[in-house]
């Protein structure tokens, strides 16, 4: 759900799962946006010079190339989205707006994992995963209320100190408030999300909240309050393993 920075990272990480029969793996790709040239910097499945292509079809083509059974849904995540018990088993959420996040618990997914990334100059290495169902509904997450509108804080760094001498305060705040993204952060976050989805298949205990800062390597976990509901599929053995991951050379 959502095929920007995070959603494409999910797709790439999924391509490394060495299923014995990838045609048995159904991946539903949902988004409403088209690509822009700027998406190339953080979208690992976005080709160079990509412009005005539906992200669903772009990612579907990449996963189709390694044998996955893909489906596309080109509509938004909102309070009107509902699924049946047979539709989707695990949802990996990569949306960037709070109303969509608040709707997660009402859709009907057996297991949903939402990933949020820091976006500012000082926190873009931060990763926050939330798993549902949990003892807190998506409508009750305190951090998912509508944000207070205001100027972004200016980081106390040499770079911004230098800019402050050559730019007015208004322009400096605008620059400080610009979203910052790095594809490696999305890849790490996607790896954690996929690992969370399969953790209990291997005897582990899930986590309702995972908070990781890649800069300080500070990690905080909140153990799960409900068991995950995940369908296993066999993987190839090490002797039969083949490199079938999505080629990013383009």
Q: Kindly state whether residue 39 falls inside one of the protein's structural domains.
A: yes
> Is residue 172, in this structure, part of any structural domain at all?
no
Determine, yes or no, domain membership for 184.
Answer: yes
Name residue, tokens 């976006």.
119
124-149: pLDDT as tens digits: 889 999 999 998 999 999 888 876 55
Is 243 part of a structural domain of the chain? no
The reply to whether 170 belongs to the active site is yes
Planar angle of CA 71, 73, 76, nearest 5 degrees:
155
Angle CA(11)–CA(13)–CA(17) in degrees, nearest 5?
105
Whether residue 226 is contained in a domain is answered as: yes
Whether 158 maps to a domain, the answer reads no
- Residue 204 falls inside a structural domain: yes
Q: Which of 120-124, 158-162, 176-180, 204-208 has the highest mean pLDDT?
A: 204-208
Q: Which of 170, 217, 231, 238 is catalytic?
A: 170
Q: What is the mean pLDDT of the chain?
A: 84
Look at residue 242 and tell me if it is in a domain. Answer: no
* Whether residue 84 has pLDDT greater than 90: no
pTM of the full structure: 0.84
Residue 120 pLDDT exceeds 60? yes
In the chain, how many domains are there? 1
Whole domain around residue 95: which residue ranges? Answer: 5-148+180-232
Kindly state the tokens that stand for 211.
């908070």
Strand 126-132 versus strand 207-213 pairing type? antiparallel
Give pLDDT tens digits for 26-73. Answer: 999 999 999 988 788 889 999 887 889 999 999 999 999 999 999 999
Higher local confidence (pLDDT), 177 or 88: 88
CATH code for position 116: 3.40.50.720
Give 91's Cβ-side CA count (13 Å radius): 29
Contact 182, 42 (CB under 8 A): yes
Higher pLDDT, 120 or 162: 120
**190-201 pLDDT, tens digit each:** 999 999 998 888
């Amino acid at each position: 759900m959502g095929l920007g920075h995070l959603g494409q990272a999910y797709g790439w990480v999924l391509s490394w799962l060495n299923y014995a029969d990838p045609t048995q793996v159904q991946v539903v790709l949902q988004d409403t946006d088209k690509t822009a040239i700027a998406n190339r910097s953080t979208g690992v499945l976005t080709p160079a010079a990509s412009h005005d292509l539906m992200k669903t079809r772009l990612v579907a083509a990449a996963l189709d190339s390694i044998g996955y059974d893909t489906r596309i849904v080109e509509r938004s995540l909102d309070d009107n989205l509902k699924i049946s018990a047979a539709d989707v088993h695990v949802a990996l959420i990569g949306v960037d707006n709070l109303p969509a996040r608040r709707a997660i618990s009402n859709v009907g997914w057996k297991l949903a994992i939402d990933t949020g990334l820091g976006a500012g100059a000082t926190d873009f290495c931060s990763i926050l995963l939330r798993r549902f169902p949990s003892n807190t509904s998506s409508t009750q997450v305190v951090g998912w209320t509508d944000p207070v509108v205001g100027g972004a804080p200016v980081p106390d760094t040499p770079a911004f100190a230098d800019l402050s001498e050559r730019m007015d305060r208004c322009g400096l705040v605008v620059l400080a408030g610009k979203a910052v993204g790095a594809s490696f952060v999305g890849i790490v976050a996607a790896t954690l999300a996929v690992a969370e989805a399969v953790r209990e298949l291997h005897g582990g205990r899930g986590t309702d909240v995972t908070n990781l800062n890649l800069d300080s390597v500070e990690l905080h976990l909140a153990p799960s309050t409900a068991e995950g509901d995940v369908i296993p599929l066999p993987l190839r053995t090490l002797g039969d393993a083949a490199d079938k991951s999505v080629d990013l050379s383009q």
